[in-house]
Structure 1
Amino acid sequence: MGLPWIGRLLLFMQLVHGVFCWGKYGHYAVCKIAEGHLSEDAMGTVKKLLPNWAKGELASVCSWPDDIKWNYNWHWTSSLHYVGTPNFKCNYKYYRDCYDSAGHKNKCVTGAIFNYTKQLFSAYQGYNPRLKYNLTEALMFLAHYMADVHQPLHVGFTGDLGGTGIKVGWYRRKTNLHHVWDTMIIDTAVKTFYGSDLSSMIQAIQRNITDAWSQDKSSWEYCIHDNTVCPNLYASESVRLACKFAYRNATPGTTLQDDYFLSRLPVVEKRLAQGGIRLAKVLNQLFSFQVKIGRSSR
């Protein structure tokens, strides 16, 4: 008999140490792409909010929530990096899926995006200015989780722990499927196609946004009812991509090589682009001082 869902999630929290996070390259890329699409107002506010050690660069802080989540005082954030979905359903529903290992509702990546968006909204758009938040932390968490929700296996199945429980080979290395999507596809691409230079990969993605994906950019930015942010949409996209690309041909014990890498890399690069464009859109709306925006809602 399998572990009950709480047991699986507790095991999940043990397994993901140092693994369950879109790697530093992925987070840096999403935030660097976003920086290139920020308005003057948004860029100015972001720079004011960033800690001094960031030296004015949003991308330099985007892995911070991964760096601190294993500290005792930050354990409560561990469940905010992902959301589990029912096995083989290939769909996501907020009220069904967003809870932590103790069953607390809203404690998942989409819930975190709603929360930190509303914190920044309250301060900069006057929704509830009496509430006091650490807005620097809110910005860093929001930027990080906007990237996480675009990694398909951050919205993977609970039964295999978002691919963490699927042991595979990546060329000559032993790993798990989640780590392949978090880190190894990007790392291999940087080394193989971009001369081990992440900035070259980011520039190539930016060119695609300007050229090949220029017709798609407005649809990526669309948010129902003119809401500020739509993480439920992003999560729904991710689980469908997980079913179509991440899980397919990646059964336990499989060695993944060129066929898998070359067919999945375009998916990863587009998700990095979408995460960056959407993060920029959210920050541009939050930090626009010209027009008041509509309240975020689930």
Structure 2
Amino acid sequence: MDDGEWDCHNSRGQRGMCVVGAINNYTDQLYTYGDSPKSSYNLTESLMFLAHFVGDVHQPLHVGYEEDEGGNTIMVRWYRRKANLHHVWDVSIIDTVMKDFYNKSLDTMVAALQTNLTEGWSDDVGHWENCANKKATCANDYAIESIHLSCNYAYKDVVQNITLGDDYYFTRYPVVEKRLAQAGVRLALILNRIFDKKKADTMPLYVQ
């Protein structure tokens, strides 16, 4: 992993074949949809994949180490349950947070995140939106953020077969919640720019 410009490609050397490339590719498909009568892109499919990949790039282990497949080969215990580290960050932390703080209600968790956008994180939201490229995305920047978070939080102090309990949980779940919020804010910004091209250069993102 490094902080440089992403040079993502597949085994045939085709560029743009990673989550960052996918975000930019699907954004371009949506932004230019209808510009040419020969356009054959599936708008619904592009929108669904864009939303999925914007979420993915904010999960730190989706840009984790290649040798452990983003934590997939690191086996741990999440309290008493066996899991791999990637699953802990994809599922286990969120499930535990919902049980502990939100009465297992996704709606309650989403409402809490929305409240934090206008209160606890309100000073940060403007920075989350910063993106000089008005007609594409800043997915590379989001991936770099995830690289640092994977090193400083996801992988930190983790070894094979370790039991991850309260010390890990209570220092990591705030990171997970903030990344969920950042993903939502940034997806909204991308979609605002896509669907109102005339205002794309000046459009701020209003969080209500």
Q: Normalization by structure 2: what TM-score?
A: 0.91
Match of 2:6 in 1: 94
**Runs of 4+, deviation exceeding 4 Å:** none
Is structure 2 residue 34 aligned with structure 1 residue 118?
A: no
Would the aligned equivalents of 1:155 and 1:162 in 2 still touch at CA under 8 Å? yes
Q: Secondary structure at the match of 1:175?
A: strand
- Cα gap change, 1:222 to 1:292, in 2 (>3 Å): closer
Q: Report the 3-state secondary structure (helix = DSSP H, G, I; strand = E; otherwise coil) of the residue aligned with 1:249.
A: coil
Q: 1:213 corresponds to which letter in structure 2? A: W
Q: Give 1:102 shift.
A: 5.1
Cα deviation per residue 1:150-188 (whole Å; 9 max; x = unaligned)? 000000000111011111110001111000000000001
C-alpha RMSD over aligned residues: 1.8
Calculate the TM-score normalised by the size of structure 1.
0.64
Matches of 1:185 and 1:220, distance apart in 2? 23
SS of the residue corresponding to residue 228 of structure 1 reads coil
Identical-residue share of aligned pairs (%): 50
User: What is the 5 A alignment of 1:136-155?
Assistant: 136-155=44-63
1:192 to 94, 97, 100: 100
Q: CA deviation at 1:228?
A: 3.3
Q: Which amino acid aligns with 2:70?
A: G
Deviation (angstroms), 1:284 = 0.5
Question: Is the contact between residue 228 and residue 293 of structure 1 (CA under 8 Å) also seen in structure 2?
Answer: no
Q: Which runs of 5+ in 1 are unaligned?
A: 1-84
Distance 1:202 1:292, change over 3 A: closer
Q: State the secondary structure of the residue aligned to 2:82.
A: strand
Structure 2: unaligned runs, 5 residues or longer: 203-208
User: Cα–Cα, structure 1 residues 166 and 232, in superposed 2: closer, same or farther, change >3 Å?
Assistant: same
Q: Do the aligned partners of 2:93 and 2:173 also contact (CA within 8 Å) in 1? A: yes
Partner-residue secondary structure (3-state), 1:123: coil
Query: Is 1:160 aligned to residue 68 of structure 2?
Result: yes
SS where residue 174 of structure 1 aligns?
A: strand
CA apart distance, 1:129: 5.8
1:203 aligned residue (111, 117, 120): 111
Change (3 A) 1:129 1:148: farther
Matched length: 202
